[in-house]
Structure 1
Amino acid sequence: MLPGTIAKTVHWAFGQDIAVLPRIFDDGITLAVMERRLDSALTLAVRAQLCHPRGLEWQWRGAPGPAMQEDLARRLPAPEAGEALVEDIGTIAEAMAYLFSTETIGIRLRTLEGAMCPRFHVDNLPVRLVSTYAGPASEWLPEHAVNRDGLGAPHPHKPDIVADPGTIQQLGVGDLALLKGGGWVGNETRGLVHRSPQPAPGERRLLLALDPG
């Protein structure tokens, strides 16, 4: 967490209970994070997928439920060890559908060996949930540390996006983070600025992303 000296600019909410996630509906909040640690069964399931030589890139768009979980289980590199992971993603998807009153969820689960979006940016959609099961988790910037004139496609005449590199924040492995984007009505110029970190050589990330609707 950031020092209390900048409390007046806080636009994030962190907590260890799922009740923190609805804070994303607050006008001043652009990041709501349920902090959690993966239990041993889930950790072993994740490790089994990452130890398999085959990578994973699974997508689903539709209702969460048994069909979604069955499709995911079939696509896992190590399905015989993936039960805890499938159950966890099923629970998260159902919670997301309930929170945003939708029957349709877009889900992506993928392994990454490089930074998917290495440049700080804002998602052009209302909201996205991200969770890193393994590897370095997503990085984000508090608003006071952002120079928004630098966002968008890189250009030699654009200023640096990061006004103060010492303020770069990072989520934890296992955290469930709701990121409000520029597509959220009333938040068009205040979407959370974030990026994918660069894994160390030989390291793999397992990243989950969910979009409601």
Structure 2
Amino acid sequence: MPVATAPLLDDPFLEASATTPAAGEPHWAFGDDIGVLPRIFDAEITLAVMTRRLDAALQANIAAQLGSERGISWHWRGGVGQALADDLAAHLPAPAEGAALIDDIRIVAEAMAYLFDTDTIGVRLRTLEGAMCPRFHVDNLAVRLVTTYAGPASEWLPESAVERAGLGAPHPGKPEALRDPAAIQQLGVGDLALLKGDGWIGNEGRGLVHRSPQPAPGERRLLLALDPG
């Protein structure tokens, strides 16, 4: 998964421009090629998504993991080489049917490391039977990549649908964070999504507002999240 189609910035957490988008302008970028992901460096972009469909081998691997009674809660912080792949294989409930999944995660991690010019990536792979973060919220970190391998994918809001004064823990008198329920957007299964948070320099108070969806009864999600550095 080469990402050499776009240059890296000297500092991966600084915007390419000091401008901010005009009210109502899109702050997201979608495409079916890896070249869309570096759009996250644009000042106005808080969501960059490579849309994709999972191939048959990968879907079979995912089904094999979810078919086990044992869930997955795997964490890794380090390089993106063979050690990552070996550690993941040791933690899969069905490692004999995990080659395609391991390869995909390693490729995504390598792309993340290249894009943000880092030797260290934090990776989490988890099965979830409930909403991990059910309220709309903003991450305080700089950026995170998420992809849903199975189950409902993450939901997000365009800025026009957000009342930021309502974000955070609820309390009496606090407004609703969601202005327009009809404006809720949802990623697709397999999509690679870079979410810019409030911790990105110059993006304070503009982090992408998103939440975890609630799976249907008996449904399990398989979620991958990666953080650079």
Normalised-by-shorter TM-score class: over 0.9
> Which residue number corresponds to residue 30 of structure 2?
14
Deviations 1:85-116 (A, max 9, x none): 00000000000000000000000000000000
Structure 2 length-normalised TM:
0.90
> Which residue number corresponds to residue 208 of structure 2?
192
Is the CA contact 1:35–1:174 (under 8 Å) kept in the aligned structure 2?
yes
> Which residue number corresponds to residue 124 of structure 2?
108
Quote how far apart the aligned CAs of 1:75 are.
0.3
* 2:150 pairs with 1:134: yes
* 2:174 pairs with 1:149: no
Is the CA contact 2:24–2:160 (under 8 Å) kept in the aligned structure 1?
no
Is the CA contact 1:9–1:143 (under 8 Å) kept in the aligned structure 2?
no
Give the letter aligned to residue 113 of structure 2: A
CA distance in 2 between partners of 1:156 and 1:117 (Å): 21
> Which residue number corresponds to residue 46 of structure 1?
62
Is the CA contact 1:9–1:144 (under 8 Å) kept in the aligned structure 2?
no
CA distance in 1 between partners of 2:24 and 2:177 (Å): 22
2:224 to 185, 191, 208: 208
Is the CA contact 1:56–1:109 (under 8 Å) kept in the aligned structure 2?
yes
CA distance in 2 between partners of 1:63 and 1:129 (Å): 16
Give the letter aligned to residue 217 of structure 2: P
CA distance in 2 between partners of 1:162 and 1:152 (Å): 12
Give the letter aligned to residue 79 of structure 1: P
* 2:70 pairs with 1:74: no
Percent of pairs identical after alignment?
Answer: 74
Quote how far apart the aligned CAs of 1:156 are.
2.0
The alignment of Structure 1 onto Structure 2 pairs a total of residues equal to: 208
CA distance in 2 between partners of 1:51 and 1:157 (Å): 45
1:177 to 177, 193, 207: 193
> Which residue number corresponds to residue 165 of structure 1?
181
Question: 4+ runs of 1 displaced by more than 6 Å?
Answer: none
Deviations 1:6-36 (A, max 9, x none): x952000000000000000000000000000
Decide which structure has greater helix share: 1
Quote how far apart the aligned CAs of 1:188 are.
0.6
Is the CA contact 1:96–1:212 (under 8 Å) kept in the aligned structure 2?
yes
